[in-house]
Amino acid sequence: MNRIVVANWKMNPQSQKEAEVLFKESYSLAKNIKNTKIILCPPFPFLFVSKKFKNKNISLGSQNVSTKTEGSYTGEVSPKMLKDMGVSYTIVGHGESRRLGETNEIINQKILNLLKYKLTPILCVGESVRDANGSFLLLVEEQIKKSLIGVSGAQMKNIIVAYEPIWAIGKNATREATKEEFMEMKIFIKKVVSDIYTPKIAHSIIIIYGGSVNPLNTRSFIQDGGADGLLVGRDSINPKKFGAVLSALN
Ligand code: 13P
């Protein structure tokens, strides 16, 4: 089975020169990796840099998209522009974007806009705190339901769901999720998708894990936690560590 590894470079690096090096290293790491689709998501200004490189295991992703299609929207980037740059995937609903004001309604509009142009949304969901009563599950359910309004069952098959608990993301992470926590959430996400669509669609969707993924925990999320892939932040901009994450999958 093909696994997915999404490299979210976030707001890094700071120059085209460094982006070129990062692309070059990532492409070279991917050479010997089998049964894995790697999706590199650089910041917008560096998307074009990837045109210099080719590898059928690597696809290009973006970290955002507009809710609008074209026209007078200062600062916005349309799905068509992304497609023209060779982008096939787009991250939406990331915890860091939600913190800056991206609501479930905005995420929903972005998803519909992406699907219209046959781009694959990577929908991030996840709670900022886990409470003993399990209210965080209701929050994740709401994130999924509101983000998918107007998305057909056929379109749902083209959406990747990433469970990224906010408490596990970035330098200030309290800890990574356990494989059991991921497994439970995977079942819960499938249940929510099954309620909206059908058990068959829920069975077929791709669910990946993100939050402090590193070479040491990669294998456990995939093999024991049943993740279909990983969303990697910090370790995706460190070629040595990213290489080790990819090798751990083989
Ligand atoms: P880290 O891997 O740095 O915790 O970031 C995770 C993430 O936010 C990926 O989208």
Per residue in 14-47, pLDDT (tens digit) is 999 999 999 999 999 998 899 999 999 999 999 9
Q: Is 212 in the pocket of ligand 1 (CB under 6 A)?
A: yes
Q: Is 201 in the pocket of ligand 1 (CB under 6 A)?
A: no
What is the reported pTM? 0.97
pLDDT at 1: 60
Residue whose tokens read 């929510």: 192
Per residue in 155-177, pLDDT (tens digit) is 999 999 999 999 999 999 989 99
pLDDT at 174: 87
Ligand 1 atom, smallest distance to 176 CA: 4
Q: Is 207 in the pocket of ligand 1 (CB under 6 A)?
A: no
Q: What is the mean pLDDT of the chain?
A: 96
Active site (catalytic) residues: 94, 164
Ligand 1 atom, smallest distance to 95 CA: 8
User: Cα–chain-centroid distance for residue 244?
Assistant: 19
Q: Is 211 in the pocket of ligand 1 (CB under 6 A)?
A: yes
Q: Distance, CA 70 to ligand 1 centroid (Å)?
A: 30
Q: Distance, CA 213 to ligand 1 centroid (Å)?
A: 7
Which residue's alpha carbon is nearest to atom 5 within ligand 1?
Answer: 233
Ligand 1 atom, smallest distance to 173 CA: 4
Ligand 1 atom, smallest distance to 94 CA: 10
Per residue in 62-104, pLDDT (tens digit) is 999 999 999 999 999 999 999 999 999 999 999 999 999 999 9
Q: Is 63 in the pocket of ligand 1 (CB under 6 A)?
A: no
Round to whole Å and give the CA distance between 142 and 137.
9
* CATH no. of 3-249: 3.20.20.70
**Domain boundaries of the chain, sorted by first residue:** 3-249
pLDDT at 231: 98
Per residue in 201-232, pLDDT (tens digit) is 999 999 999 999 999 999 999 999 999 999 99
Round to whole Å and give the CA distance between 94 and 166.
9
What is the sign, positive or negative, of the torsion defined by CA atoms of 116, 149, 90, 201? negative
